[in-house]
Amino acid sequence: MTASNSQRLEQTISAIAALDLTPIKFKAMRQEDGYGWTPEHADRMELAYKRYLTLHAKYPDLMLAPDQDVDHFWHLHILDTRKYAADCEATFGYFLHHYPYFGLRGEDDAKALQSAFEMTQALYAREFGESSAGQATWCGAESAQGQAAWCGADGPAKQAAWCGADAPQQKAAWCGAEGISPKTAAWCGAEGASSKHAAWCGAEGPKAPHAAWCGAEVKGTAA
């Protein structure tokens, strides 16, 4: 990236961080015609949405797919048409379009959406150190492929856990009722379930129902 491109990116990211999304949160918190969110959840989703926009700025050529509540926040922003158009111009310099049919056009499209979602969550975790729900449990650098592993009830797939660049392939691990793989406990980490670097989670984990633990490089607490 050239110096000028890097400077433009930093300016875009700063503009995203400075967006006033108070009206969007106000609408999201309304029971009558919003989502009935609590103020705390609205604040979390504001941050997650700004981070999602930041991913668009940093990876403009990728097909990104947010989790459900971030997408809901985006929808409300778009519905304020004048503000959304002005905010897009102030941040990206162009109108950031939303394509609402992604994943609905057959089995292959649904798989493409799932792949885009997983990639988006991986980028989010790598860039910001947590899931977009902001309540994930983390393992350290010695998990699969030297990248962080996360798990817990509030992960991007609700109860899913995974780690490493190869997720959801050989070195990936998944768990929980909403996970991608079987509905039993899963582990992650290149050295296997018995390793000091393994990470566990899910209702049938090795400790107790809903327990989660990580190895020596723990960065967070169990979810």
Tokens (6 digits) for 44: 């979390």
pLDDT confidence tier of residue 134, bands split at 50, 70 and 90: low
Indicate whether 93 and 6 sit together in one domain. Answer: yes
Domain boundary among 134, 168, 188: 134
Q: How large a percentage of the chain has pLDDT more than 70?
A: 59
Domain boundary among 81, 106, 134: 134
More confident residue, 164 or 11: 11
pLDDT score of 145: 37
Indicate whether 41 and 68 sit together in one domain. Answer: yes
Indicate whether 120 and 12 sit together in one domain. Answer: yes
Whole-angstrom Cα distance, residue 155 to residue 129? 12
pLDDT tens profile 14-37? 999 999 999 999 999 999 999 999
Name 120's Cβ contacts closer than 8 Å, sequence gap at least 6.
52, 55, 64, 65, 66
Indicate whether 186 and 129 sit together in one domain. Answer: no
pLDDT score of 130: 83
pLDDT confidence tier of residue 2, bands split at 50, 70 and 90: confident
Indicate whether 95 and 145 sit together in one domain. Answer: no
Indicate whether 68 and 109 sit together in one domain. Answer: yes
User: Which residues span the domain enclosing 170?
Assistant: 136-223
H runs (alpha helix) in 103-143: 107-128
Domain boundary among 80, 105, 134: 134
Q: Work out how many domains the chain is built from and give that number.
A: 2
pLDDT confidence tier of residue 102, bands split at 50, 70 and 90: very high
Indicate whether 80 and 12 sit together in one domain. Answer: yes
Starting at the edge strand found earlier in the chain, the sheet holding 162-163 runs: 137-138, 149-151, 162-163
Tokens (6 digits) for 89: 């111009």
- For the ranges 35-49, 76-90, 175-189, the lowest mean pLDDT is seen at 175-189
pLDDT of 111 higher than 90: yes
Indicate whether 93 and 108 sit together in one domain. Answer: yes
Indicate whether 44 and 153 sit together in one domain. Answer: no
pLDDT confidence tier of residue 184, bands split at 50, 70 and 90: very low
Q: Mean pLDDT over all residues of the chain?
A: 73
pLDDT score of 4: 87
pLDDT of 162 higher than 50: no
Indicate whether 114 and 45 sit together in one domain. Answer: yes
Indicate whether 120 and 20 sit together in one domain. Answer: yes
Mean pLDDT calculated for residue range 139-143: 36
Indicate whether 66 and 87 sit together in one domain. Answer: yes
